[in-house]
Amino acid sequence: MAKYLVTGATGLLGNKVVKALLKRVPAEQIAISVRDPHKAEEWAKLGVDVRQGDYEDAASLDKAFAGIERLLLISSQGDNDTRIAQHKTAVAAAKKAGVQFIAYTSVSKATESKLFLAEVHKVTEAEIQATGIPYAFLRNNWYVENETNTVKGVLAGAPLVTSAGQGLTGWTTREDYAEAAAAVLTGTGHENRIYELSGKPSTYDEYAAAIAKAIGREVTVQHVDDAAYEQILAGAGLPAPVVEILSLIQKAIRSGELEVHSNDLETLLGRPVTSLEEGVAEVVKGA
């Protein structure tokens, strides 16, 4: 029986991937690599093989990846340079351990995107390809949950503020991306494939309309330029580095970096992608 491993399994995406895997294969075929095994006790109780593994510690990854045939490498958090170094360590460990397949959570249009986050994924994809190990790149678009703070603001009576104009984003749920990852990790015929995973491209006006439907009242959208957007965020008390990141994301959306027209996600799921309305309704419930 194949042994599957998910890195970062206590994270928001990784946690959902493990749940999706448990619907597909027995727990004893699933391993997870986490920095703190104590945070994964719920999985251990279900029979999942919990292993200690840290992107900053190559030796720990050597142990964590031992005996693993198919690996889901979930991208780490942090600044670009840190993430690139961590991913290179993980890819080298996978090759050393004899892993036979690597699925990697990348970002939309990674090799040509101008999104500031894309460099990490472009480099990591190239590192994986250089190993000669069969791979699948899961180029995830934006999570509908990324707008949770926006939704909270609207619920508190604020307008939805954006500088993205009529730029399109392929929002869908973290759940959909997790299920797709589980399908690729446990399925066949995914070797050396690049999947552009995305919901139906939508504008912030459409996101606001979905919020309005969920809460039963009109939502005002305030379209502003970059300077005003940054000023509003700073005025709300957000730290300067966060303001800069959020502004860069808005610019990227405005310039089409997250506009992806693809049925790859629907194909992997074997069902329609969760609609923006359904996804936003869940965000509203949890906000």
User: How far lies 193's CA from each of 134, 138, 183, 190, in Å?
Assistant: 9, 9, 13, 6
CA atoms within 13 A on the CB side of 285: 6
Domains and CATH numbers, the chain: 4-139 (3.40.50.720), 141-173+198-260+274-287 (3.90.25.10)
Using one digit for the tens of pLDDT, what is the confidence trace for 82-129?
A: 999 999 999 999 999 999 999 999 999 999 999 999 999 999 999 999
Which pLDDT does position 17 carry in this prediction?
Answer: 98
Tracing tokens 């889901």 back to the chain, one arrives at 72
Which pLDDT does position 2 carry in this prediction?
Answer: 75
Which pLDDT does position 90 carry in this prediction?
Answer: 98
| Secondary structure percentages of the chain, helix, strand, coil, to 5 | 50, 15, 35
Which pLDDT does position 250 carry in this prediction?
Answer: 97
Rg (Cα) of the chain, in Å, rounded?
19
**CA 111, chain centre distance (Å):** 17
Residues in the chain with pLDDT < 50? none
User: How far lies 223's CA from each of 158, 163, 226, 236, 276, in Å?
Assistant: 13, 6, 10, 17, 20
Using one digit for the tens of pLDDT, what is the confidence trace for 31-41?
A: 999 999 999 99
Q: How many residues does the chain have?
A: 287
